[in-house]
Amino acid sequence: MPAKSTSFIKLMSKKIIVMITLICLLMLFLMMIIFFMNQSSKDEYVLIDVFGRQRMLTQQLSKDANRKYAILQSLRNGSLIETDEALNDRTLLLNNSLAKAHNEFSNTLSSLRTGYLEKGDISINLKNSIDKMGSIIEITDDAWDGFSQAVREVIGSKQVDKQTAEALIYINTHEEQLLQYSDEITQGLINLHKKNANLIIMIAFGLFTALLISLLVLIFQLYKYIVIPLNELYIGINNIGSLKKSAGISIPTKNELTPVIKEVDEAFGKLNKLIELIENINHDTSFEGILKYIYTSFSEFIPYSHIGIALLKDNGKAVEASYGISDPALDGLPKKLVGIKARLDETSLKGIVTKGIPRVINDLEEYTKNSNALYNKILLESGIRASITLPLKLNNKPVGIIFFSSTVKNTYKQHHIAFLETLSSSIAISLNKNIFIDELLYSTVLALAKMAESRDEDTGDHLDRMKQYAAKLTEFLLEDDVYSDEISVSFIKEIERFSPMHDIGKVAIRDEILLKPGRLTHEEFADMKKHTIYGAEVLRTAEENMAKQNRGLFKTGIEIAEGHHEKWDGTGYPYSKSGSDIPLSARIVAVADVFDALTSKRPYKEAFSFEESFNMIIDGKGKHFDPYIVDSFIKHKGEIFEVYNNFKDIDQK
């Protein structure tokens, strides 16, 4: 790109960013002003309400004290109207009322001294105001001390005596004083609170005004540097016929400009989306990230509720659903589809792969009415009614198929195919690059794991069995809706890929410890336990090197290697983690690892039977193993036995 164009784009980008920032700040300040005004009004209401109640409580205390004194006199002199029992009952009620009002008044003053006044869910910070009103608050506290002592004296009195009379006199003579102090505190706090709130609002209004002026200046500059140049650009394009729809097109008037701008904007929008996709590929974004980007970015150009990718397997003879992303309303459609495999010549996809011609199905129900294929059934049950299918090719060789599917019939048109054909080539490049790099790195580390395994001849096919048990157990958890917020299609794949790396750290353990036929000594076992730390360090080093290239691969492997010997009750190693602090991947592998170890021969033991091993896993529920995982393990006992039996048959052969 010429230097002049680059400078222009940079200049415009900066101005647009500044304008967007200013608009956001204007909105923020406007919201702040509204919030502070509203909050100030609420705070003022609370202050009036709280201290208005203090005034009412003062009057109530005085009134109830006088009423009790009158009742005590009636008890002493005898009443012609009420019995002593009725008068005593009234005395108890007045004592309760006095105590309640006394406590409420006292609590409000105590709260005020802390600097925070609360009412319901509203809390007012009055620290600054209290500092400025210290003298009146101290005077009020002193006045309340005497008033409070007099009220307590009246509450405790059971007869008319000198102390009761003096207490009542004190209450009656100091009531107005306490009311006055409460009014002074209320008015003072309201005035100070208003002053602070007004200051904040004035500052916010000042900043709002400054930002608004800056925005208006920027808009003028944008008109000068963008609108006028774009108008010239449009005239130039129009002159060379790029956007001509008829021979007599002329420079647009103001009314004609809107649809033209929309048309140009849509064209540039599509182009920019494709450019962004290519940039993401060049930046080594993960393929899952690319797929997510496509899903969120291209819906304005093509309708879809689900995007799925199937890869060719078995030298192109089979096709397997491998990746997917869809609308949450489709009830986990990718999870249901991923892993389904079929022979290519038994599907309607063969023509797409061999001929490279896109296919449009605008009525999936009608198209598949004679099909019993599982994936078609799942699509229909999820609400899919139309789809576009395109081949994914690399160097003109098919590598897979991509599906764009919608819940609406007859939604796809020819221009959708044209748009997606360009996209499918970019996806194929990204898919190949990411899978190739990941598989290369994964295979290298897996070779190290197998090297560690090969040192112990009695472990046999432990890694393969482990992988099967762990993957199956993860699928069972998903099926049983256990930890469904953590388990996804990619999580199941990661468990299958990285469970064989659980003991990769044993490559650093000495042969005399690893292959010892008898029980290990305390020191030897301490060394053996370090294989979890060694394994995590190996994978963490690989992960850190990948991070330099903005990639990540071994996170799950690190969790498994480091945590598969931790126990649910916290008695495991290396860090004595417990419960859900242990990563879910490690908790799953722990069950699979122990079960296979129990059913396998080791230098220090013979293999236990399936039933013996199964019961030992159950015995470890809630102690060694996650109880929820064991529950799922028990529920699928028959399927676990099938995996066990398959390996047993292979070993016998």
Q: Is 104 helix (H, G, I), strand (E, B) or coil?
A: helix
For residue 409, tell me if it sits in a domain: yes
| Domain annotation covers residue 130 | yes
**CB distance 564 to 593 below 8 Å:** yes
Successive 10-residue mean pLDDT values, the chain, 653 residues = 48 70 73 66 66 78 83 77 80 87 80 69 64 66 80 84 84 81 71 70 73 74 64 50 40 48 59 62 60 77 87 85 86 81 86 86 90 86 91 79 91 82 67 55 56 53 84 91 85 84 82 79 90 87 66 80 95 95 96 92 81 94 96 94 78 49
Question: How many residues would you count in the chain?
Answer: 653
Where a domain ends, among 215, 230, 254? Answer: 215
Task: Say if residue 125 is in the same domain as residue 196.
Answer: yes
d(CA 401, CA 292): 17
> Rounded to the nearest 5°, which phi and psi values hold at 626?
-60, 120
- How far apart are the C-alpha atoms of 72 and 463, rounded to whole Å? 91
Instruction: Measure the CA–CA gap between 299 and 377, rounded to whole angstroms.
Output: 25
Containing 394, the helix (H) or strand (E) segment is: strand 386-394
Residues 6+ apart with CB under 8 A from 641: 610
Q: How many domains does the chain have?
A: 3
- Residue 249 makes CB contacts below 8 A (sequence gap 6+) with 238, 243
Of the residues 183, 215, 247, which one is the last residue of a structural domain? 215
Please indicate, yes or no, whether residues 42 and 129 belong to a single structural domain of this protein: yes
- Are 401 and 466 in the same domain? no
Per-residue model confidence (pLDDT) at position 251:
43
List the Cα angle 467/470/472 in 5-degree steps.
Answer: 105
DSSP letters spanning 329-355? GG-SHHHHHTT-EEEGGGSTTHHHHHH
Rounded Cα distance, 139 and 188, in Å = 14
In a domain, 207, yes or no: yes
Beta carbons within 10 angstroms of residue 375's beta carbon: 20
CATH code, 622 = 1.10.3210.10
Which residue, 192, 215, 238, sits at the end of a domain?
215
Type of residue numbered 478? L
In whole angstroms, give the CA distance from residue 535 to residue 432. 29
pLDDT at 150 (0 to 100):
84
- Which pLDDT score, from 0 to 100, does residue 154 have? 83
Same domain, 551 and 623: yes
One domain for residues 200 and 315: no
Tell me how far apart the alpha carbons of residues 559 and 581 are, in angstroms, rounded to a whole number: 11
Q: Which two tokens stand for residue 394?
A: 């690399």
Are 48 and 160 members of one domain? yes
| Residue 247 pLDDT | 40
User: What is the distance between the alpha carbons of residues 430 and 277, in angstroms, rounded to a whole number?
Assistant: 10
Give a yes or no: residue 244 inside a domain.
Answer: no
Same domain? 344 vs 466: no
**Is-contact 95 68, C-beta < 8 A?**
yes
Q: Is the dihedral of CA 220, 226, 228, 231 positive or negative?
A: negative
Following DSSP, what letter does each residue of 475-534 receive, concatenated?
HHHHHTTSSTTT--HHHHHHHHHHGGGTTGGGGGS-HHHHT-SSPPPHHHHHHHHTHHHH
Provide the domain limits for residue 348. Answer: 300-425
The residues, ordered by sequence, that sit 6+ positions from 431 with a Cβ below 8 Å of its Cβ are: 287, 309, 311, 392, 399, 400
- SS3 assignment, position 125: strand
Residues 6+ apart with CB under 8 A from 233: none
Phi, psi of 315 (to 5 degrees): 60, 40
CATH number of the domain to which 323 belongs: 3.30.450.40
- Six-digit token pair at 513? 């410890």
552 within some domain: yes
- Residue pair 318/312 in contact by the 8 Å Cβ criterion: yes
**Distance between CA atoms of 421 and 427, rounded to whole angstroms?**
10
Q: 265 with 530: CB under 8 angstroms?
A: no
Does the residue 343 lie in any domain? yes
**555 in a structural domain:** yes
Backbone angles phi, psi at 240, to 5 degrees: -95, 5
Counting beta carbons within 10 angstroms of the beta carbon of residue 9, is it exposed (0 to 12), middle (13 to 18) or buried (19 or more)? exposed
> Alpha-carbon torsion 619, 622, 628, 629, what sign?
negative
Q: 412 and 459: one domain? A: no
CA dist 521 → 40, 576, 604 (Å): 72, 20, 13
408 and 512 in a single domain? The answer is no
Can you name the residues that pair with 309 across neighbouring β-strands? 323, 402
C-alpha closest to that of 533 among 571, 503, 497? 503
- According to DSSP H, which parts of 548-636 are helical? 555-563, 584-598, 610-619, 627-635
Residues 20 and 91 in one domain: yes
What does pTM read for this prediction? 0.47
Neighbouring residues of 380: CB distance < 8 A, sequence distance ≥ 6: 364, 365, 368
Nearest CA-CA partner of 462 in 503, 497, 493, 508: 503
8 Å CB contact between 591 and 490:
no
Residues 415 and 541 in one domain: no
408 falls within a domain: yes
**Same-domain pairing of 381 and 463:** no
DSSP symbol at 405: E
Report the 10 Å Cβ neighbour count for 279: 10
Number of CB atoms found within 10 A of residue 253's CB = 7
